[in-house]
Amino acid sequence: MAKAKSATRRGERELAFQVLYGLTFTPARDIDDLRRVFRISPDYLARWQDQEPPAYPSGFAWELVEGVWSKSDELDASITSFSRNWRVDRMGRVELTLLRLAVYEITFRNDVPAKVAINEALELSRQFGEGNAKSFINGILDAVAKALETGGLTRPAADSTSKSE
Q: Where in the chain is the domain with CATH 1.10.940.10?
A: 72-150
Of the candidates 65, 18, 70, 49, the one whose C-alpha atom is nearest the C-alpha of residue 57 is 65
Class of domain 72-150 as given by CATH: mainly alpha
pTM for the full model? 0.88
SS3 102: helix
Cβ(15)–Cβ(7) below 8 Å = yes
Q: Quote the CA–CA distance of 86 and 50 in Å, as a whole number.
A: 44
Cβ(21)–Cβ(65) below 8 Å = no
The tens digit of pLDDT for each residue in 23-80 reads: 999 999 999 999 999 999 998 999 888 888 888 999 999 999 999 999 999 999 999 9
